[in-house]
Amino acid sequence: MIIELVNTGTELLLGDVINTNAAWIGQRLAALGLQVARQTIVPDGAAIREAIAEAAARADVLLITGGLGPTNDDMTRESAAELLGLPLELNAEVVGHLEEFFRKRSRVLTETNKKQAMVLRGAEVMPNPFGTAPGMYIPAACGEGKGLHCAMFLLPGPPRELKPMVENQVEPRLRLLKPDLAGRTTLYLKVTGMGESDIVDRIEKSLEAMPGLDLGYCLGRGDVDVRLSGSSEIVEEAAALVRERIGDFVVSEDRRLVEEVVVDQLKKGAQLVATAESCTGGELASRLTNVSGASNVFGHGFITYANEAKSQHLGVDPALIAQHGAVSQEVAQAMADGALRVSGADYALSCTGIAGPTGGTVEKPVGTVFIGLASRGESTEVRKLFFPGTRDRFKMLTTQAALEMLRRRLAGLPLP
């Protein structure tokens, strides 16, 4: 089954908007064991027709995003109708949806907007609860008069409208078009603390030997999703192998990020964590508080960017800083211990390092970081790590490593 994707929109070609839809659709199809054979962006206007005609001649299934709006530039609907030689007809149900949508917003439905209720003869309407333009599914048979045999999905461009429509309307239809997808399942094992090439070395040879398994790697920020697709038996067998080989590094099997896992772990134990950050400047706490419900497990965070702040708020001895430097095992430990004591939390994480681009020395180059983990009744652990590169990468990898230290502690796993 050859699938092509056409994204329409001048804003995508100008770089005003990044085409995240293409990657997202690619991931959704990969989970079904399908792959987009070609993706094209064309500007609003007449170029849409040309791109649709070319793609429809090559593909079995064509997904088209955007160009369903009310203006003259929005030509997806008209282009498909012309290509397939089918009329557009006003759909009463869609008119009703539009009237309701506008009434709720105290606006009047204009004739221009009514254009969005025009539906190709023979197409199935895919409702759009989050916007005005409905989607359309045009079965392959509709193109027979023109010698085409390509099923088309016309989809809205805005991600919040597109995503639910793909999940709820497109994917079930793809499963019907290709019945051997029915028994197919996909599992993502999120791995952190290991580079992609290390993961490949540890698992790929054995997994490649499993017939019918589709294996992929999806790079995240500080983690890698190992994608296993195939029959549920083969996926389970492959997952068991991954767990056996690198299970300690698997954060979640449902794409949850390490901060989500940590918040859940703490919630289950009714425990609290505090943070004491120097080089990460609040990013560690920000990641924890990205998780809804973080307020149940996190109450106090300190950003002690200046040395005197470390002493004033966390009780770090100025002599310790003078002797070892602010970026040191000793100060990381004292920061974590201080945050634990001052906050009354059960766990405290600390980070002190050199984010760069300046401030590095020969012994402590840019990228050097110490991460501390204190907890009630256990001795404080400090890890020294090295994340050279950009400031953004440094903060991301340092906070990832800190959260992973806590995840391992809460799961009773040793550090790698």
Region 11-40 residues binding a copy of itself, contact defined as CB under 8 A: 12-20, 22-28, 30, 35-40
Minimum CB separation of residue 89 from a copy of itself in Å reads 31
Residue 186 binds a copy of itself (CB under 8 A): no
**198: Cβ contacts below 8 Å, ≥ 6 apart:** none
Give 313: exposed, middle or buried? Use CB within 10 Å, 0-12, 13-18, 19+.
middle
Residue 200 binds a copy of itself (CB under 8 A): no
Minimum CB separation of residue 31 from a copy of itself in Å reads 10
Residue 116 or 280: the one with the smaller Cβ distance to a copy of itself is: 280
Tokens of 259: 């901060």
SS3 128: coil
Tokens 């020395």 -> residue: 361
Residue 137 binds a copy of itself (CB under 8 A): no
Minimum CB separation of residue 49 from a copy of itself in Å reads 13
Residue 119 or 174: the one with the smaller Cβ distance to a copy of itself is: 174
Residue 11 or 237: the one with the smaller Cβ distance to a copy of itself is: 11
> Rounded to an integer, what distance in angstroms lies between the CA atom of residue 200 and that of residue 188?
15
Q: Which of 68, 117, 189, 294 binds a copy of itself (CB under 8 A)?
A: 294
| Residue 48 · residue 8 · CB < 8 Å | yes
Measured CA angle at 165 (ends 111, 141), to 5 deg: 80
Residue 119 or 251: the one with the smaller Cβ distance to a copy of itself is: 251
Minimum CB separation of residue 61 from a copy of itself in Å reads 14
Minimum CB separation of residue 264 from a copy of itself in Å reads 16
**208: Cβ contacts below 8 Å, ≥ 6 apart:** 215
Question: Which residues from 40-59 bind a copy of itself, rule CB under 8 A?
Answer: 40-43, 47, 51
Question: Which segments within 143-198 are labelled E, that is strand?
Answer: 151-155, 184-192
Question: Which residues from 303-342 bind a copy of itself, rule CB under 8 A?
Answer: 303-306, 308-309, 312-313, 342
Tell me the CA distances in angstroms from 231 to 210, 215, 242, 252, one per residue in order.
Answer: 11, 12, 16, 21
Residue 158 binds a copy of itself (CB under 8 A): no
Task: Name the segment binding a copy of itself (CB under 8 A); options: 65-73, 87-95, 183-191, 293-301.
Answer: 293-301
> Rounded to an integer, what distance in angstroms lies between the CA atom of residue 28 and that of residue 155?
15
Tokens of 181: 């997808």
Residue 190 binds a copy of itself (CB under 8 A): no
Minimum CB separation of residue 296 from a copy of itself in Å reads 10
Largest CA distance in the chain: 85
> Rounded to an integer, what distance in angstroms lies between the CA atom of residue 105 and that of residue 102?
5
Length of the chain, in residues: 416
Amino acid identity at 204? E
Q: Which of 69, 135, 157, 356 binds a copy of itself (CB under 8 A)?
A: 356
Question: Which residues from 57-116 bind a copy of itself, rule CB under 8 A?
Answer: none
Question: Which residues from 227-286 bind a copy of itself, rule CB under 8 A?
Answer: 275, 277, 280-286
Residue 200 or 303: the one with the smaller Cβ distance to a copy of itself is: 303
Q: Which of 76, 343, 350, 368 binds a copy of itself (CB under 8 A)?
A: 343
Q: Which of 302, 347, 370, 387 binds a copy of itself (CB under 8 A)?
A: 302
Q: Residue 173: name the closest of 117, 125, 133 by CA.
A: 125
Phi first, then psi, for residue 87 (nearest 5°) are: -75, 155
